[in-house]
A and B are shown apart, each in its own frame.
Chain A
Amino acid sequence: FPERSNLAGVQHVLLVLSGKGGVGKSTISTELALALWHSGKRVGILDVDLCGPSIPRMLRVQDRAVHQCDSGWVPVLVGQDKGVSLMSIGFLLERPDDAVVWRGPKKNALIKQFVTDVAWGDLDFLIVDTPPGTSDEHISTVEALRPHRLLGAVLVTTPQ
């Protein structure tokens, strides 16, 4: 009988996009997640920036590891009350300075796994932080999320 999708308990999925790098996508993703959690919501962050994953450090969980369960990967729980859950390639690196030098197809495969194989449980919001650009990561993320409740995208810029 059909397995319950890992995203079935997620009420809203929010993409944080830019196009331009270094404008504050990861910063906004983190602050948005923390603000929503402070207001009593259950929040998760999916960091699909495979080359430059910034969220683990921003939430001070860069030294944590991820574990597997029956339904896939268990996200890292952040904070004393474990209020925010996080998945990032940062947790899969052997050494923090290891470069992830992957071409598109390999990145796409991992992103699909991140979207479908993380046991998020029940969340009000899943915030998806993306790398700069309009390429493999973005196409794959949107394609993998399409069957689910995609709330929309927040776009970040600077004044220049």
Chain B
Amino acid sequence: ECPGTGSAQAGRAAACQGCPNQGLCAAGAAGPDAAELAELRERLRAVRHKVLVLSGKGGVGKSTLSAVLAHGLAADEDKQVALLDIDICGPSIPKMMGLEGEQVHQSGSGWSPVYVEENLGVMSVGFLLGSPDDAVIWRGPKKNGLIKQFLRDVDWGEVDYLIVDTPPGTSDEHLSIVQLLSATHIDGAVIVTTPQEVSLQDVRKEINFCHKVKVPIIGVVENMSGFVCPKCKNESQIFPPTTGGAEKMCQNLNVSLLGKVPLDPQIGKSCDSGQSFLSEAPESPATLSYRNIIQRIQEYCEQHHFQEEKII
């Protein structure tokens, strides 16, 4: 059995003999060392809550949810919100937040996030590209290096909520963010899916990933869950839940279903135009779903933080 490329035994265990990867694993630690972790712990000391938005499946609405969550939390002007986009190949957050073309500024205290509102700062590789069509064709190690820089060199300041938007999959970016944040405390992961089995089968893997790396699961969000025609009010299942959808999966795997969000063409429009969907369509059933989901995420974070403080 492979001991895991990130483990101390990587490349050195008996099972590694003959593995084509042995040399690479043995050559260097795939994860951060103790000194790096200590540095990150200092840097992120003033970040109260950290929420990862994951999926496994692409195109289910991770970035959309991350953007909506960021806007929703920042509606409370007393809260400081940070949105970190670690999708290095396909960074959607700059466009969704209406920040295309913005650049990152350096100061004595590090990289400055790009602010949408006074209390909502954003960081993404998108801000580092010369042109939005530039492809970032990087292998894993280079992506990992940038993610480390995002955590170490960005001057986030005092933050109540750090939301981390991730690319689809269970690979370098996901391992890196979990390993790098292991120095501090991750409140948990919100996992996004659509009702289709093709999506759920990838999401079950993501749930197993979270168990494997010991990241608590705040819950699952089912996007694209039905469509209500604005004219005739008839409801259609565009992505039929052929195997019971997220609801059945959550029951089977004992995780919370945070909510179901119906399809609304306004969501895609708001994302494309960089506007806040919650502000553009306050009456939409999708807005109501999102608001409930945001509230549940907030409650989870506040409750668990309180329990943590009690223990300390």
Residues of chain A whose beta carbon lies under 8 Å from any beta carbon of chain B: 19-23, 26, 50-52, 54, 57-58, 96-109, 112-113, 131-136, 138-139, 158, 160
Contacts and interface: CB of A to CB of B under 8 A. Distances in A.
Interface string B49-77: 00000001111100000000000000000
Name B's interface SS.
loop
Contact of B169 (A52, A109, A138, A158): A52
B14 interface: no
Interface in B135-174: 135-141, 143, 167-172, 174
Given A131-B169, A132-B90, A105 B205 contact: no
Contacts of B140: 103-105, 107, 135-136
Contacts of A105: 5, 21, 24-25, 140
Given A21-B59, A135-B138, A101 B174 contact: yes
Contacts, number: 138
B202 interface: yes
Given A22-B57, A103-B30, A104-B141, 6 more contacts: A26-B198, A52-B202, A54-B202, A99-B170, A104-B139, A136-B171
B310 interface: no
Contacts of B167: 21, 132-133
Contacts of B5: 102-103, 105-106
B253 to A, nearest CB: 9
B233 interface: no
Interface string B288-309: 0000000000000000000000
Given A133-B90, A134-B137, A109 B202 contact: no
Interface residues of B, number: 50
A76 B89 CA distance: 31
Most buried by A among B89, B175, B197, B271: B89
Contacts of A132: 58-59, 89-90, 167-168
Most buried by A among B56, B90, B208: B90
Given A52-B58, A97-B204, A104-B172, A160 B198 contact: no
A128 to B, nearest CB: 17
A72 B272 CA distance: 47
Nearest to B24: A105
B137 A20 contact: no
A57 B138 contact: no
B20 interface: yes
A103 B169 contact: no
Contact of B58 (A21, A98, A103, A109): A21
A52 B272 CA distance: 26
A134 B20 contact: no
A22 B60 contact: yes
Contacts of A101: 4, 170-171, 174-175, 209, 212-213
B212 A99 contact: yes
Contacts of B24: 105-106
Q: 8 closest A-B pairs (Cβ-Cβ)?
A: A21-B58, A22-B59, A104-B140, A51-B169, A133-B89, A109-B20, A99-B205, A52-B202
Given A102-B171, A133-B167, A139 B139 contact: yes
B171 A98 contact: no
